[in-house]
Structure formats: C-alpha cells, structure tokens
A and B are shown apart, each in its own frame.
Chain A
Amino acid sequence: MAAKGTPTTAEETWALRRPERRLLLSALMIALLGYLMLLGARPKDGFAVQLADWAPLLVFAAAFGAVHGAFVIARFRGDQLVLPTTALLSAFGLLAQVRMGLFGETEPDWMELMLLPVALATLVLVALAGRAGRYAMARRATWFWAGLSLLILGVLFVTGQRFRGAVYAVGFITPTELLKLTLVLFTAGFIDQHLKALSRWRSLLPPLRRLWPLLLVWGLITALLLMQRDLGLVLILAVALLVMLVVGTGQPGYALYGLTLAAGAGAALISLFSHGQRRLAVWLDPFADPTGAGWQVLQGLSGMFAGGLWGEGFSEARPRYAPIAESDFIYSVLAEELGYVGSLLLIAVFAVLFIRLLTLAARARTPFGLMVTTGITIVLAVQTLLNLGGVTKALPLTGITLPMISHGGSSLLTVLASLGLVLAISDGEPVKPRAKATAAKKTKTSSSKAPADRKQRARAPSKGAKAGTGRKT
C-alpha cells in the first residue's frame, strides 16, 4: 500500500477514492433530506408533488456521481475533499433555488437544470486536461490571459446593459465573472516568469522595471471595471493580486505598498463615486431611510431574526419579502429557513473548503501552481466574506454573489472551472511508471530530471512518513 498516491488500475482508484465517495454520498443524503422538506410544503401552496419535481435533485445527484465516476475511470489522484465540499455547498444552492422557484414552479426549466452538469463537465475537463503537471501549459499563455481579460471587458463595454447598478452583457450573462480566472492565470504566469527579478528588492524599493507590465494591465482592468462601477470585483481582484505577489515572491513589502495604495485609492474612490458613498451611508445607518435605501438589508435581517436560532425549516418561511433574494441575498434566505444553527453549519462548510484550498496552495509543487491555487482561493474567500458581510451588515453591500449558492450561470461556470484547475494542480507532477515499482531505484531512474526536482522526490517519502507519525502521537 506504499504506492497509494499513484494508482495504476481502476480498482485501485476506486478504493483510493473511497473517502470522496463517502463524503459525496453524505452530501447527497443531506440534499435529499432538505429536498423532502421542500417538497413537503408544496401541497400547502396548492401544488401536488409530481414526478418532475424530483428532476433538479436527480440531475444534481447524477452530475456529481458522474464526476466521481470520471475521476475513478481516469485514475485521477488529485484532492478528494474539494469535490464533496463543492457538492454540499451546491446542495445548499439547489435547495435555496428550488425554494425560490428558479427551476420552474410547475414544469422543470431545462435550461436552468443543465447549468450544473455543464459547469461540472467543465470542472472534469479542466481537472483531467491539466493533471500530471500539464496545467503548466497555461503558464506559457500569460499574455493570452491578459488579452482575453481585456477583450471580455472591451466587449462588455460596447454591448453591456445596465441593470440594478451593474453591467451585464446580452442576455444577463456576467462575463466579468470570467476575469476571476483569467486574471489570476495571467498574474500567476507573469510572476512565475519574472520570479527572480520580482523577488529582488533594492532595500525598500520594489523592482518597478520588471513590474510595470503587470501594473499596466491591472491599472487598465481596474479603470475599465470602475467605469462600470463594479467596486466589489475590483476589491476581490486587488486582494488576490497582492496575496499572489507576496506568496509567490516571498516579499511582504508588496503587501505593505499595496495596502497603502489601496487605502489611498479606496478613499479617493469613495469620495468620487456617489454610488459608493450611498452604500457606505446605508451601511452606517440603514435606519436613516428604512423604506428606501435600507430596505433590502433590513428585510434580509428581519428574515434572519424571524428565523431565530433553529429556523422554521424549508418552506415554512416566506423569503420572497427580501428583494433579489435569489442572488445577493440568498444567505439571508438560508439563515431564515435553517436558523442561526443552519447558517453556522453552512459557514463551517465554507471554512472547510477554504482551509482545504489553502492547504492545497501551501503544498503545491511549483510556484505557478502555488500562485494559481492561492489566487483562486483568495478570490473565492474574499467574495464569500464580502457577500456574507454585506448581508449581515458587517460590511457595506457590494452587490456580490455567494459562490456556488447564489443563482448565476457565469459565476457557477467560473467557480467550477477554477476548482477544476485547483484539482489538476493537486494531482501533482508527472508520474514515471517505474518510479513507484521499487523505492530504491527512484534516484537512478529519475536522473534525467532537473536536479531540484530529483532532490525533492528523493526526500518526499521519508519526510512525509516522519511528519505523519509525528503528528499522530
């Protein structure tokens, strides 16, 4: 069993991926329990339960089952915790969205139903295409990602429509969601290519001569996003950039300069944008205009208060009183129906996901993998915190969706594609089939590899074993 990390047959993978399967099945069980609660309230609303009402749950279960099956068949050895956590969070999203009637009140809406399978297919494709170190190909396409980011914004700028204070492309697709992936890839690739230069500071000055292309692209993107008043996205991306710079180069100075710059820019922006000022004023005193500007957040909070500690359960509550509950305020719906205890558990699941993602980042084998995983983690974590903070009034409202739970196709696609990439990175570097045959031969057979890599490989088993025993006792 020493070769657990590198399964050769499908049976071995089937055994190896048992934890993922168990957690997935538990998540499905939870979804089923919630779903029964949901369906139980339908007769009360005057609808009899039909066979078709099960469609969303069946599609959900089949899609996640298929992903697991694909991983087993492909002998995927990447992380096993990310997929079940995603499934559980999506289960919350599924329940809340069925609750809001988004899949159709009487007949299933197939377009909506197919969003999750399509996004999960993307996850599998990315994970399998990028495994065994192939994800590093994305590193070579640095300027492709920058160009794509700018192109998305440019297209949006020409064709965008304004709705509820944000800009959407044709058909209410929000292509800016894609920036969360493309910009992370560009930044990671750029830093990786100039890693040495960017790590070398002259006392307190960053190497601006090497940094300027990065700053230029980011300045351009920030300016374009600000013109569309997407302050929330700017904030998410800026935090991700800073953390990636610090983690990639090991220079905490970037954070120092970045925070100073961000504080100044933030103050300037707030004074420039009346939109931002209003949000800030509402945050400070929602009761100043309770039936106008403060209405949304106060209705959300009222619902939570009504839910109390234990909640009323699904469908006993009437969450439709909160405006745009299905997107930005979905958390208040869940907190109302599942109570404070339910929202505590939901946040614990989010914490599990982010701690796992951080662990994967901290253990990535290449700097590029490290930065991509870190970037994706930070984007998701900041987005989650901004949404939860906005809904609970801990932070000003930024109009940001809750990953995997809020309704939204482009968001789901981006998040799952990003997680697919993380899974690919967690699969590690290429496996030499002979490498695992005998541990003793390892140093000889890998002589063709770079010295740094060989050193790591030779050290890995002993260190891992030591660490394992050390922690258990």
Chain B
Amino acid sequence: MDLLNALFSSAPWGPVRIGLHLAFGIALLYWLWLAYQLRQAVHLRHLKRPRGWLLPAAGIVVLAFIAIIAYQATWQLGGTARPRFVAFMQSHDRRQFNPAHWIQRGRILDRHGRVLAESRNRDGAAERVYPYGPVFAHAVGYADPRFGLSGIEATANLALNGSMLDSLDDWGELGRQVLTQSKRPRGQDRVTTFDASLQRFAVDALSAAPGGGSGAVLLLRPADGAVLVMASVPSFDPNRLQAGLFSARDPATPLLNRATQGQYPPGSTFKVVMAAQALERGFSGRLDCPADGYTTSRHYPPIRDHEYYSAQDAGRSWAGHGPLDLATALAKSSNVFFAQLGVLGGHPALAATGERLLFNRSIAFAGGASKALSFQTGRLPSIPKRDRYGLAQASIGQGRVTATPAHLALIAAAIANDGLAMRPRLLRDAEPQTLAQLMSSDTARRLRVMLRRAVRDGTGRGIDTDGLEIAGKTGTAENPHGASHSWFVGFAPASSPSLAFAVLVEHGGYGSAVAAPLARDLLLKAAEQGLL
C-alpha cells in the first residue's frame, strides 16, 4: 500500500495516469472486439433460429443510440457554437478546467484602437485584463467566471467568444480544437465609439471635483449617436473583482453606472425641457418676475430667483427681474419665470412633453439587443390635477422629477440635431439609428440660439471660450442628501454642433462653478483632437 501511495504522489504518476486512461479506452475497444470475435462461440444452438423482426428491431435500437450520441456531440464537442451555452458556462461553471474559461475572447478597443479589454494567458487559463482599470468599468464591463458578464462584455459576448460558425474554415477550426482539446478560439475584436483619453480625462476630473468626487459624464455625437465618453465615478477595478463588491451595501455604490442609471433632480437643466414645451406650444411674450417670488398658494413658500438669495446673503436688496421673455429667462435661469410658465401650461402639457421627450423609459443602446446595456430616462411622475405647487416645482426641475445624465445628454443632442434624437451607440460597427423626433426642427433651432446666449451672456458666461462656441444650461439641483448637485448640459459649437454632453457632479454645488468648467475642459481636450 505504501508503495502504491508513493507511486500516486510521485512525479511520474501524471504520465502513468494518462497511460492508464489510454489503456482503459483501449481495453474497452478490445472487449468490444472480443465480444464480436466470440459471437460464433456463444451461438446458442439449442434455441430457435431468430425470428424475422430481429434485424429491423436491432436497427431501430442502434439508430436511437446513434441519434442520442450525435446530439450529445453538438454539446460536448460543438459547445462553442452555442453562444448562450458558452455564456452560461462562463458565468456559472465552477470547473476551473472548463475550456469555456480559456477562450481567448476578442479585444475591446476604443475608436483609435487602444485596448480597453483583452485576454492574456496565465498558467494555461485565459485571464481578462482591463488596461484602463476602473476608467471603463461600467461601459466596457467585465467578463469573469465567477461573477458573469456585464457591459459591452455582455452585449458583444457572442462575437467576442468567436462562437459564430459562419464559414467552412470556422468548422475546420472547431474540428481542430475538438481533436487536440485546446478549445481556444480567438474571438473577434470589437471596436467601440469610446475615446480612451477623453474618458480618462473625464474620470480624473470627476474624481477631483468638489463634493466627494463622484458624478457622471456622457459625451456623444448628435449626428449619429456615437458615445465618446461614458464616465461614472466612483468606480471599481474589473481586474480585481471580489465578492464583497457585489454583496456589501457600499454607500458609495461603485457598481451603479451613474451616467445611465443614476436618477438625480435635474434642477435648472429641466428649464430646457420647459422652454422646448413653451416654444412648441407657441408661447411668446413676457412674464413678470418680482423679487418676492411666485407661489400657487399662500400655504406654500414662494419660489424665488437665485439673485434674491445671493443679495440677501450679501445684505443687499434686489428689485427682481421684472418682465422677462423666454430667451432672457433661460439665460438668467429664472425660477420665478419657469414656475409660472409651467403652471400656465398646465398638467396635461407637461405630461405630453414628458411623453415626447421619452421620460419614464429604458432605452437600449444601438447594436446591443441585450438588456445588459441600456439607459434609463428621467422620471416624470404624473402630478395630481389639484397639485399646482407640485407642477410649479417640477417646472424648475425640483420636486419629484428626476433625470439621468444619459437622458439629458440625449435631449441636448436632439436639440443640436434639429430635434431628431439618434439612438446612442457604443460599437463602431452598429448602424446609426434614429430614436425619435423630440421636438420640431424650428424649436430646436431657436433653443440652440437661446442656449448659446445662456453661456455667452447668462449663467454660464464664466466658461465662455473663444473658438469653442459652447451652448448649454447650468443646473444646481437641491436634494435632501446634502449640497446641491452640479449640472451642465449642452453642445458645441452652437452654430453646427458636433458634440453634445451632460456633466453631473454629485453635491458639487453651483452648476456654473463646478460642472460647467469641467465640461469646458473636456471640450478643450476634444478640440485638441480635432473633434470640434
């Protein structure tokens, strides 16, 4: 026994075991051959001659077995041709030696061919490496045998695994892999629309922003929906996934993709929506905006303009805006004006606007039919008919209305693209698709002028830069969790927009002071690359 134990623990046992395995198979073959050889010797002469149905009956049994073993081959040997099966094994099979874990997945590249994800060999198993670490954690996602797939890794899984057998060569390759048992297909590479340097810049800027350094940036091309930056901070490192990340209730919620799923009060950026509604409904004229604000009932505190509060803080008095037209009110971001405008428009108009601007939806990115990669639009709950104060609050982007950065970027892109929203897309080869006409082209054209004015003369004048011609709307969204969220939403250049964006800095304070400069720096960086 000791001898046997020594043998089993010794180094040569490996080859010996393989030899035993081989001998086992050969012995089985020998047994079958022997049984065939002895068929005459075991002939039972004392029995009757076989009845006529023997051959067909044996044939049926053999055929049934052949059918089953052939079908088994489509799983056991041709499993890579079943993408959902491979995905199942990659997510749920804990056998470390399962070849599904070794598959050399294709690379994920940015628009310049920089590697965002690739598979490398380590100790015989493929290891997924993300050179940018946390920078693309939400957008590119992860592919991990323990934790499954997310992001583009999930939506492009089929091509990345190379599990599409399109040609005879593909079948030949599968045959080679089966025989040598090295199931290591090189999957196809996927080129994304992302710009790695802009994305990294956005992530760094968000991390350094005031208020704890969390937030989101979405930057896309209005003409075809190509997303250049989809940043969400805080993030996690897909190279070092741990169970704790998925189980712990981390208050920083690093798993949450703030750009696509984060619902925030939009604050003054919602005034863009209200302005679009007013233009569509043919509003022209002025509304009086007194210093003591506007309220729907004396039981509710009046909604005032921010100039009133800054004057109060400085110990001065402020006379109010007086009568304002829409363009000026938007540039000055007058709460009093838009609260009145909303109540004037009424409940059904806001509900219709919400419907037209795609509130309360989940929208898939182009090219990925999977649910794994989509973004939520803002929430605009229906406001009870008698709740006029709620309507006034919603009209200035407070109360129960929320928006996601991706949604506001989509609205900005639609304004930049004559009212037509293109479906955002993350893969270069995904066909550009129209999503919806959010407003008439005339409304979009007039909004472009107004939003340019808001940066040139209005709340965003601090970031006006020669040559960039930025148009946009700041937002400072009050929220019950702390300091106001800082927003800046817009596009550039205003006359012929080539980029649209939404920037959110959680608890960053004034939109004009935090989010707007961040957006300007990002646009400067983009201009360096000739994107503007």
Chain A residues engaging chain B, CB cutoff 8 angstroms: 4-6, 18-20, 22-23, 26-27, 29-30, 33-34, 36-37, 39-44, 48-51, 77-81, 84-85, 88, 247, 287, 290-291, 295, 298-299, 301-314, 316-318, 321, 335, 338, 340-345, 347-352, 354-355, 358-360, 362-365, 370, 381, 385, 388-389, 392-394, 426, 428-429, 431, 456, 460-461, 463-464, 467-468
Complex: A25 Cα to B87 Cα, angstroms: 45
Q: Does B124 contact A (CB under 8 A)?
A: no
Complex: A206 Cα to B79 Cα, angstroms: 49
Chain B residues engaging chain A, CB cutoff 8 angstroms: 1, 4-5, 7-9, 13, 16-18, 20-21, 23-25, 27-32, 34-35, 38, 40-51, 53-54, 57-58, 61-62, 64-65, 67-69, 71-73, 75-77, 79, 84-85, 88-89, 92-95, 97-100, 178-179, 181, 183
**Max chain A CB contacts within 10 Å: which of B38, B75, B94?**
B75
Give min CB distance, A322 to chain B, whole Å.
Answer: 10
Q: A43-B8, A49-B5, A306-B93 are in contact. Are A392 and B23 (CB under 8 A)?
A: no
Cβ–Cβ contact B35 & A33, under 8 A: no
Tell me which residues across on chain B come within 8 A of A299, comparing CB atoms. Answer: 92-93
Q: A27-B31, A352-B35, A358-B58 are in contact. Are A6 and B46 (CB under 8 A)?
A: yes
Cβ–Cβ contact B54 & A394, under 8 A: no
Q: A37-B17, A49-B5, A345-B28 are in contact. Are A303 and B95 (CB under 8 A)?
A: yes
**Max chain B CB contacts within 10 Å: which of A338, A350, A359, A429?**
A359
Q: A26-B27, A456-B48 are in contact. Are A42 and B88 (CB under 8 A)?
A: no
User: Which of A85, A304, A349, A359 makes the CB contact (< 8 A) with B72?
Assistant: A304
The contact sample of 22 A-B pairs, CB cut-off 8 A, is A23-B31, A23-B38, A33-B20, A49-B1, A80-B38, A80-B41, A81-B35, A290-B92, A298-B85, A305-B85, A313-B20, A316-B17, A340-B72, A343-B76, A351-B61, A358-B57, A358-B58, A359-B54, A363-B48, A365-B47, A393-B71, A460-B48
User: Which of B79, B88, B97 makes the CB contact (< 8 A) with A287?
Assistant: B88
Complex: A23 Cα to B31 Cα, angstroms: 7
User: Which of A88, A306, A426, A468 makes the CB contact (< 8 A) with B95?
Assistant: A306
Give min CB distance, A428 to chain B, whole Å.
Answer: 4
Complex: A395 Cα to B323 Cα, angstroms: 77
Cβ–Cβ contact B45 & A4, under 8 A: yes
Tell me which residues across on chain A come within 8 A of B94, comparing CB atoms. Answer: 318, 321
User: Which of B8, B13, B48 makes the CB contact (< 8 A) with A365?
Assistant: B48
Tell me which residues across on chain B come within 8 A of A80, comparing CB atoms. Answer: 38, 41-42
**Max chain B CB contacts within 10 Å: which of A20, A36, A51?**
A36
Tell me which residues across on chain A come within 8 A of B41, comparing CB atoms. Answer: 18-19, 80
Complex: A348 Cα to B40 Cα, angstroms: 19
Other 11 A-B pairs with CB < 8 A, given A30-B24, A351-B65? A40-B17, A301-B79, A301-B85, A305-B85, A309-B77, A335-B76, A343-B76, A363-B47, A363-B51, A365-B47, A467-B49
Complex: A42 Cα to B7 Cα, angstroms: 12
Cβ–Cβ contact B49 & A464, under 8 A: yes
Complex: A19 Cα to B8 Cα, angstroms: 35
Tell me which residues across on chain A come within 8 A of B88, comparing CB atoms. Answer: 287, 290, 298, 302
Tell me which residues across on chain A come within 8 A of B183, comparing CB atoms. Answer: 308
Cβ–Cβ contact A347 & B65, under 8 A: yes
Complex: A464 Cα to B46 Cα, angstroms: 9
Q: A33-B27, A313-B18 are in contact. Are A351 and B1 (CB under 8 A)?
A: no
Cβ–Cβ contact A385 & B64, under 8 A: yes
Tell me which residues across on chain B come within 8 A of A467, comparing CB atoms. Answer: 49
**CB-CB nearest 6 A-B residue pairs:** A362-B54, A305-B79, A306-B98, A362-B50, A5-B46, A313-B21
Tell me which residues across on chain A come within 8 A of B40, comparing CB atoms. Answer: 468
Cβ–Cβ contact A304 & B53, under 8 A: no
Cβ–Cβ contact A22 & B58, under 8 A: no
Complex: A19 Cα to B38 Cα, angstroms: 6
User: Which of A33, A302, A370 makes the CB contact (< 8 A) with B23?
Assistant: A33
User: Which of A30, A305, A310, A312 makes the CB contact (< 8 A) with B28?
Assistant: A30
Complex: A280 Cα to B282 Cα, angstroms: 59
Give min CB distance, A245 to chain B, whole Å.
Answer: 14
Give min CB distance, A219 to chain B, whole Å.
Answer: 27
Tell me which residues across on chain A come within 8 A of B7, comparing CB atoms. Answer: 40
Cβ–Cβ contact A394 & B67, under 8 A: yes
Give min CB distance, B200 to chain A, whole Å.
Answer: 36
By beta carbon, the residue of chain B nearest A6 is B46
Give min CB distance, B93 to chain A, whole Å.
Answer: 4
Cβ–Cβ contact A341 & B20, under 8 A: no
